[in-house]
Structure 1
Amino acid sequence: MSNAAPANPADHALLRPRIVLPFLLTGMIWGSTWWVITDQIDGVPPSWSVAIRFAVATPAMFLLLLAMRKTLRIGRAGHWLALAIGVTQFCGNFNFVYRAELHLTSGIVAVLFTMLIVSNAVFGWWLLGQRITRNFVAGTLVALCGIGLLLWHEAGLNPLGGSIGLGIVWAVLGILCASIANVVQANTTGRSLPMVSLLAWAMLYGTIADLALAWWTAGPPVLPERPSFWLGIGWLALAGSVVTFPLHYTLVRQIGAGRAAYNGIVTVIVAMLLSTLFEDYRWTAWTGLGAALSLCGLVIALRARSVPTPPLGDAPLEKPA
């Protein structure tokens, strides 16, 4: 009788078509959204840009819910969860991200957001009891070195005492908000609800918070006339929100919040390419090394071992006996 541990589907979760296709699609779409956001905040208060985006996305999400014949009823606990997701993900996260892009190139903000893997795993360990592994820690340290080199380059262009430092602060706050939403939606209440039902209500609550924040911080609405803004709103609201969030949050339930955040690898490649083409991002030997280290670190973290259930960060330090 063999003593070998049975094969676990989680070992190759990212290789299955129903995982890898939405994984790549969300990464590619979100990679493009970082660049589109730069036009959204050109002459428009960031809070109003976010509010308009989700004012368009929310009705579309409810239409998707009805088209899929999912229920509108999510119960009291579901509404409290939707409120938490709406305030953190669709209000806090996006308002911080848009402000970060006032001070940093879109590609650099995308690189910073790869650290969502770290916060997802830490919050998952803290809130849901998921374990963190050696591969995850090693890969994270390598990625942090790479991100440090990229930020060092940015700081050379603008001292950290100026806008670059503020951009980093906004980005970190955005990461924390997104990570909280990623993890809490995978709790027992969230898993019992249809994904689109939970997201539709979360977007509605987030949109209400966005509108209130925009009016409070920037006054009456600002509605630009340029076509590029409204084309961007359409892409961000429909492709960047209605299409991607159901796919991404379903991945979180299937493979864990930490692994789902690995689509940041695809996102960074697309975002840095667009930043180079359209934002005149200049590569040097140091930034090339930083980008390479960031991606290598994420790949190292992907090397998971067997687990009894999909974890948030990676496989446990040791296989269960």
Structure 2
Amino acid sequence: MSASATLARPGGPGLSTYDYGLYAATVFAWGFSWIAMKGQVSSVPPEVSVFWRFVLASSVMFGWSLFRGKQLRFSLSTHLRFAGLGLFLFSTNFTLFYYGAKSIPSGLLAVIFSTASIFNMILAFLLFGQRVSRQTAVAAALGFGGVAFMFWPEIAGTSFNRDAAFGLLLCIAGTLSFCMGNMVSASTQKKTISVTSATTWGMLYGTVFLGLFSWASGKSFAIETSMTYLGSLVYLAVVASVIAFASYLTLLGRIGSARAGYATVIFPVVALSVSTVFEGYVWTAGALTGLLLVMAGNVLMLRRA
């Protein structure tokens, strides 16, 4: 199926088996990434860890692209698109979120990032004139409310001082950066440029931006050599970056930004499920209520409109 054909159906047609496979791959890859990120919390500066993550991820993408014979030579104007993808999706959003996370709880991070499905709808309407159906809007609201319910005890216990408020702004900016990257990807796919080629170059540009930022801020590029750090780095680079972003961006072009963006609502549910097994997370009545809201929104978002 051509890129123009897939992008012609972002509004409401039912999902194919392939679409559901992409959706599941995205949700589970990012859902497990939360526990992997804990292995990155160390003396290594956040932007340096993300830099090495994308050094590895972009290397894998270039190797895969060459092996599959994907086009890698493009015009300067197309490279500007790739640079935008790298800036918004593969560098800025991660850096903003990592710094914001220093002063606000992880539960609030999940709630903020779940608004990506809402921001995607708004940006797609403003930039591309994509109609937002009532069904899609209600589904996004259910998902956002459900994630808020699940993490409410942690959020309610947060003391909003000046640092926390600044952290909140950084994370909102990080979410907007992620969504702007979604819009760049969607417009790039409309130009019939493959997701693999765009992601390969986008990750490289993101790596360059992160490297320059780390260097300019005087950070050391040294990393830990523990199995925990290196293992989590490999997972985040290969599974949570290469596989997840390739799946998500392909899905974005096939079913539209609003519906694909709902993955950002579902993967915190997977993360909590993983936490239940490995960290003893206990599901409260509020969390179960939130889970039901999220799942109801998921069914509503993905079913035939």
CA contact under 8 A between 2:85 and 2:202: conserved in structure 1? yes
Once the two structures are TM-superposed, the CA of residue 299 in structure 1 deviates from its matched residue by 3.3
Who is 2:119 aligned against?
119
CA contact under 8 A between 1:32 and 1:271: conserved in structure 2? yes
CA contact under 8 A between 1:135 and 1:302: conserved in structure 2? no
Counterpart-to-counterpart distance in 2, 1:148 and 1:161: 20
Who is 1:13 aligned against?
14
CA contact under 8 A between 1:31 and 1:110: conserved in structure 2? no
Who is 1:95 aligned against?
95
Who is 1:196 aligned against?
196
Who is 2:160 aligned against?
160
Q: Match of 1:223, SS? A: coil
Identity of aligned residues (%): 28
Once the two structures are TM-superposed, the CA of residue 100 in structure 1 deviates from its matched residue by 4.1
Change in CA separation of 1:260 and 1:156 when aligned onto 2, cut-off 3 Å: closer
Who is 1:270 aligned against?
270
Who is 2:6 aligned against?
none
Residue pairs, 1:1-321, within 5 angstroms:
11-14=12-15, 16-103=16-103, 106=106, 109-150=109-150, 152-161=152-161, 165-187=165-187, 191-217=191-217, 219-279=219-279, 281-305=281-305
Structure 2 residues not aligned, in runs of 5+: 1-8
Q: Which amino acid aligns with 2:222?
A: V
Once the two structures are TM-superposed, the CA of residue 253 in structure 1 deviates from its matched residue by 1.1
Structure 1 stretch displaced more, 25-34 or 243-252: 243-252
Once the two structures are TM-superposed, the CA of residue 263 in structure 1 deviates from its matched residue by 2.6
Structure 1 stretch displaced more, 283-292 or 41-50: 283-292
CA RMSD, Structure 1 to Structure 2 (Å): 2.6
| Count, aligned residues | 297
> Larger Cα Rg: Structure 1 or Structure 2?
1
Change in CA separation of 1:120 and 1:76 when aligned onto 2, cut-off 3 Å: same
CA contact under 8 A between 1:27 and 1:267: conserved in structure 2? yes
Q: Match of 2:217, SS? A: helix
Q: Match of 1:187, SS? A: helix
Once the two structures are TM-superposed, the CA of residue 17 in structure 1 deviates from its matched residue by 1.8
Counterpart-to-counterpart distance in 2, 1:141 and 1:236: 29
Counterpart-to-counterpart distance in 2, 1:157 and 1:220: 35
Change in CA separation of 1:301 and 1:242 when aligned onto 2, cut-off 3 Å: closer
Q: Match of 1:71, SS? A: coil
For residues 131-171 of structure 1, the C-alpha deviation after alignment (integer angstroms, 9 at most, x for no partner) is 11111222233333334434542233331227654554333
Structure 1 residues not aligned, in runs of 5+: 1-7, 306-321
Counterpart-to-counterpart distance in 2, 1:254 and 1:109: 27
Counterpart-to-counterpart distance in 2, 1:33 and 1:56: 16
For residues 167-214 of structure 1, the C-alpha deviation after alignment (integer angstroms, 9 at most, x for no partner) is 543332221111111112211675321221111111111101111122
CA contact under 8 A between 1:93 and 1:173: conserved in structure 2? yes
Higher relative contact order (CA 8 A, sep 6+): 2
Change in CA separation of 1:147 and 1:28 when aligned onto 2, cut-off 3 Å: closer
